[in-house]
């Protein structure tokens, strides 16, 4: 009898990307699809890991029919959680139609945006459609640092956008990428996020890839700066406990990837052209939604992680951390 289980009914809560999420008896589908819906962006940020920017849409991005087919597949498979990012997802011509489709089929959807299109009417629409949250990148607590990092971006417009979300009643998350010139503002950025009504604040080490490869000498925080950064985050975590969650990863990329090799996340990264990556921080592609179904890709996802080229790439990172510069030179498994 199926219910003769003697163990407690519920397991320990675990983040979606941990062992329990993927090893508890072979999940039938991903738990999370992170979809970069376009590589086009209105900004050209110094640290952008996707090398997005004006005119940077891929020439082969999925068409409308393909986009909605993939969304339908995800929801048919009961994928509980999706995110739309980019590039800037809100510049996608069918953005609101895609949001309406996911939310209309009871999917939980997070939007990751630079916040420049969060006018009151758009925020009201996102609220009405029922998005789970909107995550806004706010890399700095001042106009000076934010505008330096987010080329073509505007701090005031972003803050105004977050305020519009709050007025509309949309749950808010704030994302912060540390650099040499903004890292000292992290405590103030956490305070600003709380003042703006965010319920979560996310940060971690900035990755050496994408645009950051070219700008690294101006961008990279020192280890001393990172020490102070994490110390401030620990302090702010306690200060805001029960009011706003402060999330951050202190461990480096290498440790994270070594863990993932043993415990792949139940997460698929979908690129604007339908290619599916194992994880953002690796160049490996495990499927192509233009030619395969989501179910077919998921069926071989765990196997793809076991490809020896993946483990070799991770171990080579120990010798040469700058190998992440090649994340956009996709390797097909």
**Residues of this chain that bind another protein (CB under 8 A):** 1-16, 18, 20-21, 24-29, 31, 78, 80-81, 108, 110, 132-133, 171, 199, 245, 266
CB of 317 to another protein, least distance (A): 26
Smaller CB separation from another protein, 81 or 146: 81
Within 8 A by CB and 6+ apart from 130, the residues are 103
Smaller CB separation from another protein, 17 or 273: 17
Backbone angles phi, psi at 93, to 5 degrees: -60, -25
Cα 165 to chain centroid, rounded: 19
The Cα–Cα gap between 198 and 176 comes to: 13
Within 8 A by CB and 6+ apart from 97, the residues are none
At which residue do the structure tokens 């996802």 appear?
A: 301
CB of 279 to another protein, least distance (A): 16
The Cα–Cα gap between 97 and 152 comes to: 27
Give, for 297, the enclosing helix (H) or strand (E): helix 294-299
Smaller CB separation from another protein, 32 or 305: 32
The Cα–Cα gap between 107 and 68 comes to: 14
CB of 22 to another protein, least distance (A): 9
CB of 112 to another protein, least distance (A): 13
CB of 202 to another protein, least distance (A): 10
- Vertex 164: Cα angle to 163 and 169 (nearest 5): 95
- Vertex 323: Cα angle to 318 and 224 (nearest 5): 65
Smaller CB separation from another protein, 166 or 184: 166
Backbone angles phi, psi at 54, to 5 degrees: -60, 130
CB of 98 to another protein, least distance (A): 18
At which residue do the structure tokens 């604040």 appear?
A: 201
CB of 106 to another protein, least distance (A): 8
The Cα–Cα gap between 154 and 116 comes to: 8
CB of 169 to another protein, least distance (A): 13
DSSP symbols for 160-217: HHHHHHHHHT--EEEEE---TTTGGGHHHHHHHHHHTT-SEEEEEPPPS-THHHHHHH
DSSP symbols for 221-263: PPHHHHHHHHHHHHHHHHHTTTT-EEEEE-S-HHHHHHHHHHS
Q: Strand pairing partners for 133?
A: 110
CB of 12 to another protein, least distance (A): 8
């Amino acid at each position: 009898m199926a219910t003769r289980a003697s163990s407690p009914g519920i397991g320990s809560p675990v983040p979606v990307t941990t062992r329990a999420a993927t090893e508890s008896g072979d999940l039938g589908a991903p738990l999370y699809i992170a979809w970069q819906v376009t590589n086009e962006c209105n900004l050209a940020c110094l640290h952008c890991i996707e090398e997005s920017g004006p005119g940077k849409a891929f020439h082969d991005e999925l068409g409308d029919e393909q986009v909605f087919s993939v969304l339908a597949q995800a929801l048919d498979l009961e994928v509980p959680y999706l995110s739309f990012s980019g590039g800037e997802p809100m510049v996608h011509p069918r953005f609101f139609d895609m949001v309406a489709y996911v939310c209309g089929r009871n999917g939980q959807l997070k939007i990751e945006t630079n916040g420049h299109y969060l006018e009151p009417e758009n925020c009201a629409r996102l609220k009405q459609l029922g998005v789970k949250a909107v995550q806004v990148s706010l890399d700095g607590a001042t106009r000076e640092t934010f505008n330096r990092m987010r080329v073509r971006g505007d701090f005031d417009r972003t803050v105004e956008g977050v305020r519009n979300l709050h007025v509309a009643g949309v749950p808010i998350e704030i994302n912060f990428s540390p650099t040499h010139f903004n890292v000292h503002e992290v405590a103030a950025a956490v305070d600003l996020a709380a003042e703006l009504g965010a319920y979560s604040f996310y940060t971690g080490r900035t990755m050496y890839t994408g645009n950051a490869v070219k700008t690294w000498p101006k961008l990279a925080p020192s280890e001393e700066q990172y020490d102070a950064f994490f110390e401030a985050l620990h302090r702010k975590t306690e200060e805001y406990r029960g009011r706003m969650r402060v999330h951050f990863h202190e461990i480096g990329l290498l440790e994270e990837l070594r863990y993932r090799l043993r415990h792949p996340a139940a997460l698929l990264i979908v690129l604007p052209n339908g290619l599916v990556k194992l994880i953002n921080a690796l160049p490996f592609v495990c499927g192509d939604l233009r030619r395969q179904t989501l179910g077919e890709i998921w069926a071989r996802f765990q196997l793809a992680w076991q490809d020896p080229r993946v483990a070799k790439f991770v171990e080579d990172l120990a010798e040469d951390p700058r190998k992440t510069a090649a994340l956009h030179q996709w390797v097909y498994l």
